[in-house]
Amino acid sequence: MNVVDSSGWLEYLAEEANAGLFAPAIENTAELIVPAISLYEVFKRVNQQRDEHMALTAVALMMQGQVINLDASIALSAARLSITLSLPMADSVILATARAFGATLWTQDEHFKDVEGVRFVAKRK
């Protein structure tokens, strides 16, 4: 199972330098877990940078995976991870969701660099 964080989705959608590194996880929709908070983050950013139509198109692609809503168990796990790893709320929810499903988290966010269960790819410019 795979979870791609918002930075990976945005990289893939914009066809940036690391897009190909996130493609295997994104395109294998049978193994793709999508935390609902990722829908929020990607929709907001694409809508700000492009337009609502493109943002909805991005969300439609994301929804080909299994969308996971934030429940009490994931929320409490995320809070613990936020405290332990000093992560922002959204990032802790995404990591908690990945861990709840035994999934690998794919990201290029530096603060995940040495976190267990994370496949970190350095951002290329």
pTM (two decimals): 0.96
pLDDT for 124 equals 87
For residue range 52-82, list pLDDT tens digits in order: 999 999 999 999 999 999 999 999 999 999 9
What is the domain-level CATH number for residue 88?
A: 3.40.50.1010
How many domains would you assign to the chain? 1
CA–CA separation, 61 and 13 (whole Å): 10
DSSP for residue 117: T
pLDDT digits (tens, 9 = 90+) for 5-63: 999 999 999 999 999 999 999 999 999 999 999 999 999 999 999 999 999 999 999 99
3-state helix, strand, coil in the chain (%, to 5): 60, 15, 25
Domain that holds residue 61: 2-120
Kindly state whether residue 112 falls inside one of the protein's structural domains.
Answer: yes
